[in-house]
Structure 1
């Protein structure tokens, strides 16, 4: 499966780096691994949901799939399972880190795994029960187990010490939580809303999330990038439920305690897990800025999907072979739930090199250079 090659790469990269690195900014290096990119980290491991899934649901018995046209209409190679017309946010971040686009865990093999793996799954949540209305999906707990499978093979081949040293320089990107609201708390067929108020549910999620991230730390992760939840009340599927066509303040307020808890959790983990570094991407502030100042970013449509059916193109999401809008770069939303490639690229760049208004306490570029 190429795991041995990947782990060897990580270890050899570290040995080779000390001999050939070019010292620049504090902690920076520039090994000449290729003519076209300067790799800031050996690898990136990705955990999350449909916002960053790149095909792990393709072979599952699942209703949450995007391996059909017009998904991928602007992606080199066409539909892959990405819930976008092109790039996802982590695709842009990988490129900025000097890495190639990372393979999905479900079909990664050989040299494809040299630079990391994407474990994200559409409809996945922090809670195992989240997203069951879509049948097949890979919850965060199972994504971690999938990473353990990779790690077990690496450790068998190289030994725990060498693997731990290699993993300490890799970036672990985690973007979870959206489905725990959209496809759990807000779903009428779930009991969750009757069992917890908004703050209690946010506390439950963070308790689980804290344990899951600690588990990744215990497996060797040290550099974490954690993405928050955006303005969920402004996505086309929620707008389509409104008689006024305006953002749902109730939904936007509902997710605020989760984002607030995440910042507290990250500060606590940073203090309690020796050698760990955490970065929080404030997706809420990013999206608020984009929706408020959309014209300055070149967007003209912020209240409906480029591809979808019904009110705000959000009542039914993008169907197979549906004709999407022609001016995709002017739309903030691609379908009922997900942003366009233009927004994904913009957010990826902000996360990589932005200031503390959108990424805290440092940005991804600074994390990579530590």
Structure 2
């Protein structure tokens, strides 16, 4: 992801989450816990038997020590957000140890989806359900370090939970010829299926103590390189972009419902689709 896009997303995140924050609080957030796919994976797939890896050049060329497992030249958007929150780079779940967990953990995995079956064409990956189970394991470590369940609950309630899921459920499930999904569901039915599962998963995180959620919608999938390569004129696929619209619409309704029904919870939706569309159509406004 380009640096301009990361900074734009991070700034948008800060305005949304902290625009109405309490100035008396000593810190913006004690930690950030991250769930998602290749857009924010920072090395969890490195040691998996998976085709979805980025631990080789030219990935990571802007890091002093070379490739890290990030699917980018350098920082991802969650790295930028952590920096703006005053946090260190959040470690990958597979690499974190000791006191590192106090600042948060990144559980994201390339090829992962809301549905467990998503991404099987890449073999190894860590679906969202498993990422949540990995977070449960982290809670045991945190409870020991923070002094018990009461201190843990207070700390977790003040942490940021960033979730960016859904892209692979289209790219590496619905749009793949070796999946039967497209024959079973139309675009609206599939979006409904995803949101039903997504809602259950977010409720699970809430029941584990999470209260501050930032949810990233699905972006312009019709404009990513793999889709562009399938078009003779290398133009964005309007069909693919329209395909994900019901999911994003459902996400907005889901966020409203969760905010209305879960006490003390704050769910914020980031409209990645609109933001990237604005960047593509108004590049000069962003200095490119």
TM-score in same-fold range (> 0.5): yes
Q: In 2, distance between residues paired with 1:180 and 1:237? A: 15
Normalising by the residue count of structure 2, what TM-score does the alignment of the two structures yield?
0.90
1:186 paired residue among 149, 153, 175: 175
1:198 matched residue in structure 2 = 187
Matched, 1:217 2:212: no
Q: In 1, distance between residues paired with 2:172 and 2:201? A: 20
Deviations 1:206-258 (A, max 9, x none): 00000000000000000000000111101111111112221111100000000
Displacement, 1:205?
Answer: 0.1
2:165 matched residue in structure 1 = 176
- Superposition misfits of 4+ residues, deviation over 6 angstroms: none
1:149 matched residue in structure 2 = 137
Of structures 1 and 2, the larger Rg is shown by 1
Q: In 1, distance between residues paired with 2:62 and 2:242? A: 34
Matched, 1:110 2:98: yes
Q: In 2, distance between residues paired with 1:102 and 1:51? A: 15
1:63 matched residue in structure 2 = 51
Distance 1:56 1:41, change over 3 A: same
1:162 paired residue among 119, 133, 151: 151
1:241 matched residue in structure 2 = 230
Displacement, 1:28?
Answer: 2.1
1:293 paired residue among 262, 282, 285: 282
Deviations 1:312-361 (A, max 9, x none): xxxxxxxxxxxxxxxxxxxxxxxxxxxxxxxxxxxxxxxxxxxxxxxxxx
Q: In 1, distance between residues paired with 2:139 and 2:117? A: 26
Q: In 1, distance between residues paired with 2:55 and 2:71? A: 8
Counterparts of 1:88-103 in structure 2 under 5 Å?
88-103=76-91
Gaps of 5+ in 1: 1-24, 32-38, 300-370
Q: In 2, distance between residues paired with 1:84 and 1:29? A: 37
Distance 1:26 1:212, change over 3 A: closer
Displacement, 1:30?
Answer: 6.5
Displacement, 1:76?
Answer: 3.6
Q: In 1, distance between residues paired with 2:75 and 2:257? A: 33
Contact 2:35/2:131, CA 8 A, preserved across alignment: yes
Normalising by the residue count of structure 1, what TM-score does the alignment of the two structures yield?
0.70
Q: Which moved more, 1:185-194 or 1:154-163?
A: 154-163
Counterparts of 1:21-36 in structure 2 under 5 Å?
27-29=22-24, 31=26
Distance 1:121 1:26, change over 3 A: closer
1:330 matched residue in structure 2 = none
Q: CA RMSD in A?
A: 1.4
Gaps of 5+ in 2: 1-19
2:248 matched residue in structure 1 = 259
Q: In 1, distance between residues paired with 2:72 and 2:278? A: 21
Contact 2:174/2:181, CA 8 A, preserved across alignment: yes
